[in-house]
Amino acid sequence: MNDLDHRFRQQKQSGQKIAALTAYDYPTARIVDEAGIDFILVGDSLGMVILGYPDTTSVTLEDMIRHTGAVARGAKLAPVIADLPIGTYGSPAQAVASARQLLAAGARGVKLEGGSALAPQIRALVEAGIPVLAHIGMLPQRVREEGGYKVKGGTLEEAGVIRDDAVAVQEAGAFAVVLEIISPGLAAEIGPTLQIPTIGIGSGEGCDGQILVLHDLVGLYPWFKPKFAKQRADTASAISGAVRDYVAAVRGDTGMTPP
């Protein structure tokens, strides 16, 4: 059992919820770290909120390495977990080779998308001493195949697959599992059946913890707002207002003193 496995199992057993967020650069990593977050995910969601792609499928391992390094330089307390991007873990050997590059950049562990079918990769990573955060339910790297972001687990067949996936990733050695956009009732049912924590995103409050994209939490990506994400700040408006004031001051449009 690795240190992350021990730490987060203990947190689950104590009943203390796990709070996690994404970060993609040094300053935001430092801010969320100093605010007491339990772990930071360098998500391949950076493809959308940082790089401007329509989804995560254009993100490369080189992108993840660069951003993981920046986040690791800002986080001194919370462990940094980095996503393995699409096409970098097709086999156990490839998964280990890719993950080692992320660890070299400063990650403490990696996340990969998939359940039972990915058990060999998870097992190989854990045997290589690399902590793994599993991810089941809605898989963003398959969004093009699935035709969008849809709630999973609404049918008996889907629910059965998700339950099997949760058990499979635990048995393979994952220290926790992300449940993305899963029917809340099913997510709440799965948690008590596992020894590892369930980390929900859009899967209701019945998980052992929650994770959000930081930009959704603080209103820094106003062009798309997930229904499940409660926005707790309006950073985009604050930045826009500051820029408008700056522009007006520079142009002499107001009585403000130019910077």
Task: Please enumerate in sequence order all residues whose Cβ is within 8 A of that of 249, keeping only pairs 6 or more positions apart, or say none.
Answer: 256, 257, 258, 259
Instruction: For residue 180, give the 3-state DSSP assignment.
Output: strand
Q: HSE-up of 251 (CA within 13 Å, CB side)?
A: 7
Burial 66-95 (b: 16+ CB within 10 A, else e): bbbbbbbebbeebbbbbbbbbebbeebeeb
Instruction: For residue 108, give the 3-state DSSP assignment.
Output: coil
How far apart are the C-alpha atoms of 165 and 144, rounded to whole Å? 21
How far apart are the C-alpha atoms of 197 and 257, rounded to whole Å? 54
Beta strands in the chain (DSSP E): 18-22, 39-42, 80-83, 109-113, 132-137, 176-180, 198-201, 209-212
Catalytic residue among 127, 146, 180, 189: 180
180 included as an active-site residue: yes
- Cα 156 from chain centroid? 27
For residue 202 the two structure tokens come to 């859009």
Catalytic residues: 180
